Each structure stands twice: as structure tokens, then as C-alpha cells.
Structure 1
Amino acid sequence: MSGIRAVADGLVDELKRSLPQQRKTQRGNLALLVATMLEVRSANLMDLAASLPREADRTDMRYQWIARTLSNTLIDPDAVMAPFAAEVLERAAADPDGIVLILDQSKLSDRHQVLMLAVRHGERALPLAWRVEATAGAIGFATQKELLGVVAPWVPAGAAVCLMGDRFYGTADLIALCQRRGWDYRLRLKGTLTVRDSSGRTTTAARAKSKDFYLEDVELTARRAKTNIGIIHDPGHAQPWIIAMSDNPGYGTTLAYSERWGIEPMFSDFKSRGFGIDNTQLRYPDRLARLILVMALALYSAVSTGHWDEVHHPTPAEKNI
């Protein structure tokens, strides 16, 4: 039995445990693709086809099998991810700082962008759910709301949640959504946004320039969204961090926004420094979304293997902790 087949068989058992209602053929196909991707470390379909352990002799026939699997509408990335995401969120909820969710967008190709919701895991992040769209611009609030709505039921009841987002996401709509859900948030704001409080009406950039760094219960934009704002402008940095938050603003609570950067290594794993999805020739958003599913399961498999090895084969330093 090839190494890929052996890994795939183990993944089939895990998928059967986590997804008992999914069809056997779908579990088998996903497991084989994930195992092959872990072996070749590439999202390029020709690379995958060249190493795929199937009986077809010709690479083009194996390529067609991969293309059919990625176009299978019965494979729903949200449904497949649900048990894996719920497990990692349960683990994250036990952290004293609670669950840190990170919302960000990344370019997949000249025509496609992905909106990703991930959970911080150590110094990095793990993908939870995503949406791929054929666009060159920002993916709007309607899709952001849909994505958060998918993940919210996976969060353990009563868990503390903080949503992190860059300047695409510092909007009155997203602030209001977090407030309705009872989530904390760290959303970076553009400098052009209007701020109103007892001192009058100005902009976020003007407040940063005046070194008015901690604003409580201010009204933001024409929507007059109530929020707190923390501002950090460290020496040597061209732009300040202007961060909307529900917590009392201070240097520490504002600096916590730095946890958002955990998603950047994850995107690197997906793209040129990892699996290379940005070099794929796939043209359909749904097929790209399923290719991301294969990569996400590969990352979860690698992390799970690392946790198992840490428990069963600890280094001398780990044994003493």
C-alpha cells in the first residue's frame, strides 16, 4: 500500500467519525485528495494528478477525476468543516483569553477573492469557513454577515469571543452585529470616518493626530454606531492603529489587535509559500471553495498529528512542563 493510500485510509476513519451522514464515496474522495495534497504540498491540479494513487494510467484521466470531485455540489464545505471547526473552537474556548476570530480577505487570482473566517491557534490561525467570489474588490457586509452566521452555532455556549478585522471591516454594520451577538471586537478603522462625542464632530484621523488616544462611548459614521476607540501611533510607523472595541480603551486592549496577524501565516500556507493556490487555473468559485476545503482539512490533519505527537512523544522539555 502506498504512503498516500495509508494516510487516506486514516483520514477516511476520521471523516466517518466526524461526518457519519456523508456518503462513503465523498468521504473517500476527499480523504484521497487531502492525503495526496499532504504528500505533494501543492494545490496545482496537475501536481495532484501526477501523484494521485488511482488505477488510471494517464495523468489526464486522474486530472479529470479531481475536477469532477471539486465540481461535486453534494460536497458542502460548511457541512464538512462543521465538526472540525466545533472541536477546535471548543479547545480555544478553554483559553483564558477566549476565542479570537479573524476575518480577512485575500486574492486568489486575477479574478477571484476569498473572504475567510479563521480562529487564532497559537501564533497562527486555522480556517473555519470561507466564501469565494469572482471580484477584484472588497467582499461586502452581506457575505460577512452570512459567514459569521454560519460559524456562530459552532461556538460553545457562553464562550467569550473577540472578532478581529482590518480596515475593510471597521463598519457600523459589523460593529452592530458583534454587539447583538455579545462578542467583543477589535476592528481597525479608516482615518476618514466621522466621530461624534461631547467635544464635537471630527474624523478618526484628526483624533489620532491630536493624540486623543482613548475615546469612550463615541458615535461613529453617519449611522452613529456607539463604540469605544483605542489609538496607537508608535514611533516609526507611518499610520496609527485606530481600533474600534467594546472593551474600555487603553494601550493593552488596543495592542491586542496585533493578534489579527495570525491569519497571515495561514494565507501564506495556502498561497505561494505553501500549497500555491494562487497558481491554480480553476475558474469557478465553487470549485475553488472545495479546493480550499481540501487544503483546510490538510492543515487540520497536520495540526492534529502534531498534537498527538506532543502528547505521546513529548520532548524532555515538554515532559517537565
Structure 2
Amino acid sequence: MKTENATGDAPRLYQAILPHLQGALWNDVRNVHTLAWMVTGMLLSRRSTPSFWLPYVHSRAAFAQSSERRFQRWLCNKHLQPSLLYGPIITRALREWGQDTLVLALDTSVLFEKFCLIRVSVLFRGRAVPLVSRVIEHSSAQVDTDELLPVLAETKGLLDFVGIRQVRLLADRGFCDTDLMAWLQHCGWTYRIRIKSTLILSTPDGQRLCKISDVKLQPRETVCFHHVRLTGRQFGPVHVVLGRLMDDPEQWQVVSNEPTSVDTFGEYGERFQIEEGFLDEKSGLFELEASKLRDANSLERLVMVISVATLLLVSEALDVVERGDRRVVDPHWQRGLSYLKIGHKAMSYALSRGQSFFRTLRLRGGPDPEPPKPRKRGQPSSLEALKTGWHVSFHFIS
């Protein structure tokens, strides 16, 4: 019965999605209609495998195999460039961002032990919304800076197009590279990057201060190094903060091109949102790991379909929260669901009652009017631990 209802809802969902896709650079109008049906099938089936979309597709095709081949041809069409198609959609959503700093996360994820997904996401109210994605044939999550810079250059082009200049990029220690930091500095972006303990810190005049691994901290102790230089290349000046959580034997160390403090750990901790996003894609809401595609270009197009679906759901959740209707779809007194799940529940609720949805496509800057409720005591998330696990006093070294 659930499948029958969802099948009947498919045309309405398709009609709600289609207007948001028509501003992209399409070489054939039929391709935009195919994408709308792919997103429709993905949202209703919650799977990334084309065969699961077939019950929701309404077309003149007499056989299911015809519709599946249609999707496969789309995913393998070398004339469809994801950056040219998704770019106009995400920039349209960012037009109302405002003057607030846009926080980005850079990360990678391995697919099928053969491909690497390079992703830059907008961190938005606890959810990572894809901005630029690239899939390369590479079996490791560690990629060279030469592979990262084209992705970041595309990101900068999109943000410059909508006039967003205040940008902060967050990245894990796998991206600790002075060439990358220099590029970010040249763009006028700020950054918070976790660095490796093998790095050496020097004074502005080149005198060695210490190797980071030589600094031994007590639980909940932090040390800040301001206006120092990194590695034998003497890159800088930069600012570094080291810290250790109460129950964690591992020390945390973060570098920034802005003065650091205890708050830097909380700012860096926002990066964990992109890991939640990968989890949603790979084994959560969209089941990307169940896909049978094994071609980098086809996978990149499939990732674009997921990105469109994610953007639509998060935008719908923003609309629901701003209207004050969050508790209509979220059973928690305080917000207990991510914006992605709120958006999916809101879409399902509207479909079941014949209401309109996906009326707007936007991400708006500023604080979250309904932040998620805290976790139960004794079960802090990584982000909460980074924000609250440090002692208020700390050493300062300039």
C-alpha cells in the first residue's frame, strides 16, 4: 500500500522538482526531465540504484527496461558535465546567504575501494550541503593537492558569482599542506585545518620553537602559538592551538591564518558535519554504496543527483522551520532531527495531504532559530566534545 501511494505521489513530486532544474546549462531539454524523474525516484525509494526508481516513473515507455536504460544513458552521457548542471542550481540557492561567513568543509570518501569522492560542502545548521563534488579513480582518501586545487577553484568561482567573500574552510589533517594554505590565503579565505604532530614550529625569524609532538599537555589544557612558521619551508605566519580532552590520550592541533584560542576547536569541530553527510549518502538516506556503477564519470553524475536531492530537502526544512511548522513533522519538543530528515518528512507530509512543497530553493546565513536538542548526558558528539571539553584557562605563546 505504501508503494502504491508513493507511486501516485510521483507526478506531483516530479512537477515540484522540475522548475528548480531548468536554469542549468542543458544541451537537450529531455535531459532535465530525466534528471527530475531520477531525483523523484531517489527521494521516494531512498535508494541510489536506478532499478529502484522504476515504480515511480511515469512515461510512455511500455517496459521497465526502457526506463532503466534511459537512466543508464543519462549517467553515462559524457556531454552532461555535473559542474555545469549543478553549479547554477546551488548558486541560486545561495543568493540569499547575506553577509554571514560561509563555512565550508573539504573532505574525501572512498567508494567501492576503487574511487575517491572529493567534496566541498556548505556547512548549514548541522548538515553538509554539497557544493562541488569530484569522483576520481583513486583507492585512497589521501589525494594530492594538485587534485584538490581545481575543485577549490571551482568552488571559489561559484561563490564569487553570488558575491560571497567571507569564507572559512575546515579540513582534517590529511589536507595539511602549505601549498593549500597558501592558495586559501591568496583567495582571502580563512581556514581551520588539523595538522600533524610531526610538524615543526619556528619563530618569525626562523629559530626553531618545537616539534608539535614534543608538547605534552595535561587533560583539558591548551597552548596557543601565534605568529609562527611551519615546517622547513618556514611557511607563515600562522597561528596554532594545541589541546587535549579530558579522557582522550590524543592531542588535537589546529592551524589557522587567524589568531587561535579555545574557541578554535569548536570552529574546527563543525567539520564533522561533512562526515555525517557522507554517512547519509553512502549507507543512510540514499544508499550510494548499493549502487552498481563502477565508472568515475558515471558515479560523479550519480553523486550530482544525490546533491540535488539533498539541497531540495535541506531547503524545504529551512522553509518549514522559518514558518514555525517544524513540530508538525518532527515529534520532538526540541529539534531532534537533522534538516535533511526534517525536509524528507515535510515532503512526505505534504504529499500525503495534497499540500505544496519545494516552493523555494535557498540556503540563508545566520544562526539556527531552532538548534538541535543536546544529547543525553554522557553521550557527547565529537563536535560537542570539541566545543566544551577544554579548560577555560590556557597558555599563550606569541
Q: TM-score, normalised by structure 2?
A: 0.73
Q: Find the counterpart in structure 1 of residue 300 from structure 2.
A: 289
Q: Secondary structure at the match of 1:168?
A: helix
Note if contact 1:117-1:127 (Cα within 8 Å) is conserved in structure 2.
yes
**Corresponding position: 1:139 with 2:147:** no
Q: CA RMSD in A?
A: 2.5
Task: Point out where structure 1 has 5 or more consecutive residues left out of the alignment.
Answer: none
Q: Secondary structure at the match of 1:228?
A: strand
1:162 to 145, 155, 168: 168
Q: Find the counterpart in structure 1 of residue 18 from structure 2.
A: 12
Distance apart, 1:71 and its partner CA: 0.8
Q: Find the counterpart in structure 1 of residue 212 from structure 2.
A: 204
Question: Could you report, residue by residue, the CA deviation over 1:56-91 in whole angstroms, capped at 9, with x for unpaired residues?
Answer: 344333322211010112221111221232244444
**Corresponding position: 1:150 with 2:154:** yes
Are residues 134 and 248 of structure 1, via their aligned partners in 2, closer, same or farther at CA, if it must alter by over 3 Å? same
Note if contact 1:109-1:279 (Cα within 8 Å) is conserved in structure 2.
no
Q: Find the counterpart in structure 2 of residue 243 from structure 1.
A: 254
**Aligned residue identity for 2:282:** K
Distance apart, 1:209 and its partner CA: 4.7
1:214 to 221, 224, 248: 224
Q: Find the counterpart in structure 1 of residue 46 from structure 2.
A: 41
**Aligned residue identity for 2:266:** L
2:119 to 111, 116, 121: 116
Q: Secondary structure at the match of 1:288?
A: helix
Are residues 315 and 14 of structure 1, via their aligned partners in 2, closer, same or farther at CA, if it must alter by over 3 Å? closer
Structure 2 counterparts to residues 85-124 of structure 1, below 5 A: 85-95=90-100, 98-124=101-127
Q: Find the counterpart in structure 2 of residue 24 from structure 1.
A: 29
Q: Find the counterpart in structure 1 of residue 69 from structure 2.
A: 64
**Aligned residue identity for 1:114:** L
Structure 2 Cα separation of the partners of residues 4 and 212 of structure 1: 54
Task: Point out where structure 2 has 5 or more consecutive residues left out of the alignment.
Answer: 1-6, 328-332, 335-368, 371-398
**Aligned residue identity for 1:286:** N
Q: Determine what percentage of the aligned residue pairs are the same residue.
A: 22
Question: Could you report, residue by residue, the CA deviation over 1:95-133 in whole angstroms, capped at 9, with x for unpaired residues?
Answer: 3xx110100011221211101000001011100111111
**Corresponding position: 1:257 with 2:265:** no
Note if contact 1:216-1:229 (Cα within 8 Å) is conserved in structure 2.
yes
Q: Secondary structure at the match of 2:270?
A: helix
Are residues 52 and 203 of structure 1, via their aligned partners in 2, closer, same or farther at CA, if it must alter by over 3 Å? farther
**Aligned residue identity for 2:298:** R
Structure 1 Cα separation of the partners of residues 95 and 215 of structure 2: 39
Note if contact 1:104-1:116 (Cα within 8 Å) is conserved in structure 2.
yes
Report the count of equivalent residues: 317
Deviates more, 1:187-196 or 1:28-37: 187-196
Structure 2 Cα separation of the partners of residues 38 and 25 of structure 1: 20
Q: TM-score, normalised by structure 1?
A: 0.90
